[in-house]
């Protein structure tokens, strides 16, 4: 059965209902407002304010019920009100201990559910952080690689443009070269007398040149 404990509802508008149904019995407990339960106290059920407590159990062909407010408490067996004797008080203590245990289990279940929800939220946050970290680590080199690919494409396009420009300017360069080094025959000029004399071999040493206008100059000078 466990150690009895006390349960208190701090708000006057709080309503708690506990139902237990099996093959042997049916138990229905309802509490509203501020209700103190303690299975070991002289009074297992205490209502200091505007609260109420009602419990009904059907077991072994008998129906027992207990209802209490701040001013009044009623114990009935099979629909007849009777004084709360020792048997009835033991029954009420057992019922209160079971109610406290059920309430503790319900509160623990609620806390566990809240903890599960909180853990799930924390897990989602951690997964989001890991995902952002992975995107930062993996996405950084990817973005740098994309930038390098774009730069390489720009360089390739620029190289193709230069090749096209070089191909288009090559015939023009050849024409300019031909015009520079080749002249038509009509522009040639015949060499004059001086040019002919300049092309002749120099006179041999010791030989005097013959004067053009005096063929006998050699005889006179000799």
List alpha helices for the chain, DSSP H: 86-181, 193-199, 217-221
Q: At which residue do the structure tokens 């300019």 appear? A: 176
Neighbours of 69 (CB within 10 A): 16
5-54: pLDDT as tens digits: 344 444 556 788 888 888 888 999 999 988 888 888 888 898 888 899 99
CA distance readout (Å), 33 to 12, 16, 49, 181: 4, 9, 8, 119
Regions of the chain short of the pLDDT cut 50: 1-10, 174, 176-178, 180-181, 218, 221-222
Neighbours of 180 (CB within 10 A): 8
Q: What is the pLDDT of residue 109?
A: 63
Q: What is the pLDDT of residue 101?
A: 86
Q: What is the pLDDT of residue 215?
A: 53
Q: State how far the Cα of 5 lies from the Cα of 27, in Å rounded to an integer.
A: 20
Answer yes or no: pTM beyond 0.75: no
Q: What is the pLDDT of residue 23?
A: 83
Q: What is the pLDDT of residue 142?
A: 56
**Residue 146, both tokens:** 């994309």
User: 36, 47 in Cβ contact below 8 A?
Assistant: yes
Q: What is the pLDDT of residue 105?
A: 74
Q: What is the pLDDT of residue 10?
A: 44
CA atoms within 13 A on the CB side of 34: 8
């Amino acid at each position: 059965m466990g150690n009895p404990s006390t349960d208190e509802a701090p708000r006057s508008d709080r309503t708690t209902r506990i139902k237990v149904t099996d093959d042997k019995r049916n138990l229905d407990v309802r509490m509203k407002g501020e209700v103190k339960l303690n299975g070991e106290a002289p009074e297992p059920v205490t209502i200091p304010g505007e609260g109420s407590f009602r419990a009904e159990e059907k077991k072994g062909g008998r129906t027992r019920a207990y209802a209490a407010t701040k001013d009044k408490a009623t114990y009935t067996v099979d629909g007849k009100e009777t004084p709360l004797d020792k048997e009835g008080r033991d029954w009420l203590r057992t019922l209160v201990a079971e109610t406290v245990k059920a309430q503790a289990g319900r509160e623990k279940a609620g806390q566990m559910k809240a903890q599960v929800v909180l853990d799930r939220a924390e897990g989602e946050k951690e997964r989001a952080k890991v995902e952002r970290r992975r995107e930062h680590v993996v996405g950084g080199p990817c973005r740098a690689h994309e930038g390098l690919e774009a730069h390489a494409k720009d360089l390739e396009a620029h190289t193709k443009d230069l090749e096209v420009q070089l191909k288009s300017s090559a015939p023009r360069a050849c024409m300019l070269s031909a015009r520079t080094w080749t002249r038509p025959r009509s522009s040639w000029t015949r060499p004059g007398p001086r040019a002919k004399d300049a092309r002749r071999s120099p006179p041999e040493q010791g030989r005097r040149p013959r004067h053009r206008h005096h063929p006998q100059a050699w005889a006179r000078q000799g």
